Structure 1
Amino acid sequence: MTSQTVRTVTLQEMKRKGRKITMLTAYDYPMALLVDRAGIDLILVGDSGGMTVLGYETTIPVTMDEMLMMTKAVTRAVKRSMVIADMPFMSYEAEPAEAVRNAGRFVKEGLAHAVKVERGWPSLPCVRAIVDAGIPVMGHVGLTPQTAVLQEGLKVQGRGRDDARRILEDAMALEKAGAFAIVLEAIPGVLARVITKRLTIPTIGIGAGPDCDGQVLVIHDLLGLFDRFVPKFTKQYADLAKVISDAVSRFREEVIECRFPDAAHTYSIDQETERALLDL
């Protein structure tokens, strides 16, 4: 693991050398601390935190203030990883000026290094405006959850010829608009391979096969902490939900059975003071 701070130029170098890019989500200080120390290149403060941390049914209700709170917690922990903040639903769609203001809040208040926006052609004006303001932008095409839940649901994209061509064109347009990287979500592997070869900027896959320049997962999916919605492309590397549940159950039992706290977890005083207290 290198101690070099990751930035957009680092990612370009990694793509050029064929070194895969790693990316995970984080929404709080302790998790970001662990992810950063593990050497993950990119940390996404995703609006998925609205579901995994805040308990919303979808990402739609997540607000700028909630995203800023999570972003601030993450950036306080990070020393090496590049932190990218998700622009929440309706924080950039209305007009480019508003998009720049909100992106600026993530950088100025949240201390994020970049922001991420969903969709292709509809987002191009705001992408150009944010980039022109000096803020790096990551794009996101394929399955775009912010709009998908309101339209057709969370389904694989790009299986048909016209749909695949549209996704490719969206990715190319985002690169031209100044995006430094693009997330490819829930698309066929062959389409992701074509896009990755066509673009000069890195692609980060999630459910897009092995040929992207990097891969991203939601940390709660990776750790087995969120089971309300488990996509096919998610791989669970640990079952922390069971570990935590077992630990909480043991605590409950030991308290009820008067086995915790025991002498090892209780403060003591000298015998003379103890006798004086008992005399009281």
Structure 2
Amino acid sequence: MSHQAAIRRKTIKDIMKAKGTHKLVCLTAYTAPIAQMLDDHCDLLLVGDSVGMVLHGLPDTTAVTLDMMIMHGKAVMRGSQKALVVVDMPFGSYEESPQAGYRNALRVMQETGCQAIKLEYNSAAPETIRFLVDRGIPVVAHIGLRPQYLHVEGGYKVAGKNEESRKEQLECAKQVVEAGAFAVVVEGTKDAVAREISDTIAVPTIGIGASVDCDGQILVTDDMLGMFEKTPKFVRRYADLKTHIEDGVKKFADDVRREQFPAEDETY
């Protein structure tokens, strides 16, 4: 009797082995149906705290809660079978201490079943990363432009624009890798600096608004599919879903008002 081969989810080792061999394809996912659509095409799905703006209409990521991340993480795990799933640690969930970060990351891992968490760099991040990795929680680090630090930075600012910033980003990358991060998201960073980081560290870099020479690329799926009119410079639109949805809804509304829907064959 033949058995269909079990579908294997990508592992952290698979992601790490990609460096120097093939580019990693990464996208954000927040719901089960979208995760299902992306799963065949992506190495890594990120349940990003961008969910606050994309699905909840928040002005930025700082109001996103741990419960929101867990709810969306569960949905993405239900919808995917192949991609490695990483869940963002939201603002305020890991900065207080490595112990607080561990408790919250453990909750995320246990309640969602995801394979790893992601956290944005701060001066305490290397210690927190080491604390988590030592206790079995894999970590993706996030350097460069850090959306959770919007208020401290006074806006979204490109990293690596001068020599001081270049050195700072290289040092951040070195620190998080030494602490045990298995991959590093490099966001909003000057091309040459992102390239230098990728050439310098031994783990994969995942670019967003960074160099084509990063080991992989990630975009917010809803930006890439044209769900919003305004998107950052680094987004390429691969579809125009906003227009398609609005057209479809207008046709439906017109049909309802003209009593053209439902038709006889759509009625019991």
Aligned to 1:254: 255
Task: Quickly say closer, same or farther: Cα 1:111–1:93, change in 2 above 3 A.
Answer: same
Matched, 1:35 2:38: yes
How many residues were matched structurally? 262
**What code does the residue aligned with 2:209 have?**
G
Map 1:48-127 → 2, pairs under 5 A: 48-127=50-129
TM-score (norm 2): 0.95
Q: CA deviation at 1:4?
A: 4.7
3-state SS, counterpart of residue 112 of structure 2: coil
Give the whole-Å Cα distance in 1 for the aligned partners of 2:114 and 2:29: 13
- Aligned: 1:245 with 2:249: no
8 Å CA contact 1:120, 1:140 repeated in 2 = no
What's the CA shift for 1:186? 0.7
> What is the match of residue 132 of structure 2?
130
Structure 1 residues 162-219: Cα deviation after superposition (integer angstroms, max 9, x where no partner): 1110000000100000000000001111111111111110000001020000000000
| Aligned equivalent of 1:169 | 171
Q: Choose the corresponding residue for 2:27, options 24, 27, 31.
A: 24
User: For residues 186 and 4 of structure 1, what CA distance do their matches in structure 2 show?
Assistant: 33
2:264 paired with 1:263:
yes
Compute the displacement of 1:8 (Å).
Answer: 1.1
Scaled by the length of structure 1, the TM-score of the pair is: 0.91
Q: Distance in 2 between matches of 1:127 and 1:174?
A: 7
Return 5+ residue gaps in structure 1 as ranges. Answer: 268-280
For the pair shown, which has the larger CA radius of gyration, 1 or 2? 1
CA distance in structure 2 between the partners assigned to 1:16 and 1:246 by the alignment: 44
User: Quick check: 1:7 aligned with 2:7?
Assistant: no
Q: Which amino acid aligns with 1:222?
A: M
| Alignment match, 1:272 | none
Q: Which runs of 5+ in 2 are unaligned?
A: 1-6
Deviations 1:115-159, CA, capped at 9 Å, x for gaps: 000015331121111111101100010000001244220121111
C-alpha RMSD of the superposition: 1.1
Q: Is the 8 A contact 2:8 2:81 kept in 1?
A: no
| Identical-residue share of aligned pairs (%) | 42
Q: 2:199 corresponds to which residue?
A: 197
Of the candidates 143, 146, 164, which is equivalent to residue 145 of structure 2? Answer: 143
Question: Does structure 2 retain, via aligned residues, the 8 Å contact 1:180–1:201?
Answer: yes
* Deviation readout 1:1-55 (Å, 9 max, x if unpaired): xx652111101221142x0001000001111110103x20000000000000011
Distance 2:221 2:214 in 1: 19
8 A contact 2:45–2:83 mirrored in 1: yes
Cα pair 1:184 1:203 within 8 Å, conserved: yes
- Name the structure 2 match of 1:158: 160
